[in-house]
Each structure stands twice: as C-alpha cells, then as structure tokens.
A and B are shown apart, each in its own frame.
Chain A
Amino acid sequence: MRALLIGLLTVFKHLFMRPVTLEYPEKKRELSPAFRGKLYTSGCIGCGICKKVCPSGAIQYNKDSDNKVTSYTFDLKKCIFCGNCMYYCPKGAIKMEPEYELGSDNISDLKLSYKGGNND
C-alpha cells in the first residue's frame, strides 16, 4: 500500500510541472541546423560521386557526349535522408536543410530537377 502511495505522489508531482509537449501543427519546435531534411544543390561540377554513394538510387543524371552532366534529378520520394551525398560531395554543393514537411499535392514537387552541370 505504501509503495502505491509513493508512486501516486510521484505521479501527482508532475501536475505542477510545465508541459513538455507542443501542439504540433500550430506550434513547431526549432530544429537543429544540422538536421538532415530536404536537399538543395548549388555549384555542382557533375563528378557523379553522389550517385555512387546514394543507397536508394534517388539521384539520376544525364551526360552528353563530352561526358559532361547536362541535367540531374534528386527524387525525394526515394531519398532516405542519410546524407551520404552531402558528406562525400567534393565541392560541398549539396546541402540538407531542416525541412521535414515534404507532403505535397503535386508529385513533381518531390523531384528536384536541375539543368546544366556547372551551375544550378
């Protein structure tokens, strides 16, 4: 009986504590800047390392006859947000921003397409 009372008192103590939860869609927690979310690229040189380290085949690119990358796409539907492409990009051209709400009515929003190898 004593143990039960001690337990109840410990639970009761929590009544006077500040809430730790957030009402999600209205209030949002600030994420760490290191959070691996949506991908952005700029300054790609078309070396193709990102495609070789990507485990899920989310990165595709086309090359012309001079072996130069003409366009590339990041498919966020396939992306597992592991960050391998970001870590191994020799130019630091890939960045992952703390964005996690990727739902969209338009499926093409989940495909990031870029044209040209040397610019974004």
Chain B
Amino acid sequence: MTQGWLGMTKTTLKLNLGPQHPSTHGVLRLILELEGEKILSCEPDIGYLHRGMEKMAEKLSYIQYLPVVDRIDYLAGCFYSELFCRTIENALNIELSERDKNIRVLLLELNRISSHLLWIGAFLMDLGAVSPFFYSMREREMVLRFFEKLTGQRMMYNYFVFGGVRNDIGYIDDIKEIIKILPNKIKDYERIITDNPIFLARTKNKGILEKSVAANYSITGVNLRASGISYDLRQNDYLYKGYEFNPVVLQGKDAWARYKARILELKESLNLIRQALDKISKTKTQAKTFISPLGIKLPEGEYYNEIEAPRGLASIYIKSLGDNVPYRLKWRTGSYYSVNLLKKLLLGEFLNDAIAIAGSLDIILPEVDK
C-alpha cells in the first residue's frame, strides 16, 4: 500500500488468471499482481493436469508405456512416441529400414502441421478473431482424418513401435490432397491475419524476447528461432538425413514474429512431406520383423535422446538397472520452459496483452504438468 495522488491510498490487485480461463489453453493459473492494468509480477501455478507420467513409467513395462507417451502432448503425440521408440532402439541396437524412417518423418511433419494449425486458430481466438479458428480447424481435420485412417485414432496414435511402424503407409492420395490444398489455405490465413491492423496492434512489439533472455530461460523451438537464434535439431537429426531443410529464423523477437515463424514452419513442413513422399515411393514394402513385445529389457545404463517437437526441444532420460521397467524416466518438454518465461515476459505489460503474449508462446498444459 503506497500513498497516491491527493492523499489517496494506492494498492495493488492480485488477480487469478485461470485455471479455468479459456485463453490459458488448459489449466494454467497465473497469479498476477496488477497496478491499474499494468502487471507488476506474475507467478505461474502449474500442476492441475499432473498425471504422474514419469512415475507411471516405473510401474509399466516398456511396451505398456508406449501408448501412454502419446498423451504427454495430445497435439503432437508422434514426437514423444518417436523419442521413446528411438531411445529403446538405440539401446537395443535395432536398425530402422529406410522406408520406416521416411514414414516416420512424414508422420512427424504432418503432426507438426496439425499442431501448428490448432495454435494459429487458438491464438487468433485469444485475440478476439473468431473466423481463423474455424478455417484452421477445417484444415486440421484433413490431417486428422488421414491419421484416423492410417493409425486408427485422431490424436493418440500408438503407431510407432520399437523397430518401425505398426502398418505400412497407405492413403497416399489423402496426403497429396493435403499438400495440394494447404498452401492456398495458408495464403488465405496470411491474407486475413498477417497485415491486419488490429492483429498488428495486438502483437507487434509485444512480449519481446531478447536472445540472452531466451538462452537463459532455456527456450527452444519456434519461440527461440523467432528471436533470431538458429537452433533446429532437425538439421542434425538422423531421421532427417538427406532432406533439404532450412530452419525458419526470424529477427522480430515479438509475438508477431512468433506467429510468422509458425506460418513459415507450416510451409517448411509441407516441403519436408513432399520430399518424404518422394523417398517413400522409391522404396518397397518389406516384411516386418518386430521384436517380441514382452520381455524388452534395457541393459543397465543411462540413455538420453532428443527431438525437435512443435513446442521446442523434447528429450528423454532413462536410467535402467537392467529390468523390464526403467529405474527412472525423465521428460523434458518445451512448454514447461515457456511457462517459466512468463514470469519475465509479462513484467510491465498490460493485462490485455498478457493473453496475447502467453498465447504466442504456444503453451500446452499436459506437456507442462506431465
């Protein structure tokens, strides 16, 4: 409480943003301290969606845990599946066939597209624009229907297995249609959103993320690349070997740059899908020899792997004592660090910008709480 104008007392207001606020994309609770509309401090409160993913791993065998990892990030399940499978494959020296590698790239990039499309819709919805949400959901539906045909589910795929993929790729025509239609739709989004004066006023120079801050807060993924640091794991990933790929790097640092970077990433993903389709068409279906699901045991030791997920670097750490369950399993997810960044990024901003800034970081709460 401080002395204000004409002897009136000036107090700060504590405001709970969430956990049921629709703009917090799940159950994020931000405890904001406000002076007028200005944010003096922000304390993110997480854990409302905690499911004990890491502890669960200590009870379930590797094959039982495989469908569970899809649920860490429900918008990009493939990435965590791939990460988990990759770690087991590396530990047991299982070699993937060329065709399976390319199928995995194809599915990962399609999954990235569906994730980014939902983000575009939800972000614009946060800012008060309703139409783009319906358009992006419509395009996302095409991708989800392809996933439904191929894997049997729209979001929890359980498609990658140790040593390959469950069944061979099919429905190539569906993918070709997505590649054909989506570029025009992205142009439509850009026409509606990119130069819209209201959108520009809400996002330009808002939530500026300096390079040093991004590095100190361990920010990765699109948020980092929109701040001008070129760091994309896909450049060195063994799956993406032989793919032509340019990481999207922008110098804008603000919420608008993060939006633009995701739009450009969509195009880059489409480009990768085209290459993957081309590579898949050159290989033939092979008879699959899967390792027996029961009795997978990792040799004693520690295992680490990482991948470029839509929300930043995702990594896994497994410590095994040679049993059929891990002794300890740890996930690193991109959103967790983005939530932590809000403490810094929201300081001195106005309350109505808080939603725009938090939205621009693409936070997914199941990934944060695990």
Contact = CB atoms under 8 A, between A and B. Distances in A.
Contacts of B65: 55
A4 B197 contact: yes
B85 interface: no
Given A52-B294, A88-B293, A6 B191 contact: yes
A36 B152 contact: yes
Contact of B152 (A4, A14, A35): A35
A53 B293 contact: yes
B64 A54 contact: yes
A84 interface: yes
A49 B294 CA distance: 8
A38 to B, nearest CB: 13
B64 A34 contact: no
Nearest to A31: B148
Contacts of B153: 35-36, 81, 83
Contacts of B68: 55
Nearest to A17: B138
A32 B171 CA distance: 12
Interface in A42-76: 49, 52-55
B205 to A, nearest CB: 18
A92 interface: no
A44 B149 CA distance: 27
Nearest to B192: A7
Given A10-B188, A80-B156, A82-B158, A52 B61 contact: yes
B158 A83 contact: yes
A54 B68 CA distance: 10
B148 A32 contact: yes
Interface centre among B66, B67, B68, B138 (most CB of A within 10 A): B67
B156 to A, nearest CB: 7
B173 interface: no
A11 interface: yes
Interface string B53-89: 0000000110111111010000000000000000000
Given A36-B153, A87-B166, A96-B152, A82 B67 contact: yes
Question: At the interface, is chain B mostly helix, strand, loop or mixed?
Answer: helix
Given A6-B191, A84-B63, A34 B150 contact: yes
Given A4-B197, A11-B131, A34 B293 contact: no
B193 interface: yes
A34 B151 contact: yes
Interface residues of A, number: 27
A86 to B, nearest CB: 9
A45 to B, nearest CB: 16
Contacts of A87: 166
A80 B67 contact: yes
A20 interface: yes
B289 interface: no
Contacts of B293: 49, 53, 88
Contacts of A82: 67, 70, 156, 158
A76 to B, nearest CB: 16
Contacts of B300: none
B244 interface: no
A3 interface: yes
Nearest to A10: B191
Interface string B100-129: 000000000000000000000000000000
Contact of A83 (B141, B145, B152, B194): B152
Contacts of A3: 194-197
A84 B131 contact: no
Nearest to A7: B192
Interface of B: 60-61, 63-68, 70, 131, 135, 138, 141, 145, 148-153, 156, 158, 166, 188, 191-198, 293-294
Interface of A: 1, 3-4, 6-7, 10-11, 14, 20, 31-32, 34-36, 49, 52-55, 80-84, 87-88, 96
Please name the 6 residue pairs, one residue from A and one from B, whose CB atoms are nearest each other, closest first: A82-B67, A3-B195, A36-B152, A7-B192, A55-B64, A32-B149
10 contacts: A3-B194, A3-B197, A4-B196, A7-B196, A14-B131, A49-B294, A55-B66, A55-B67, A80-B67, A83-B152
Given A3-B194, A82-B67, 13 more contacts: A3-B196, A4-B198, A7-B192, A7-B195, A31-B148, A32-B152, A49-B293, A53-B64, A54-B64, A55-B60, A55-B64, A81-B153, A84-B67
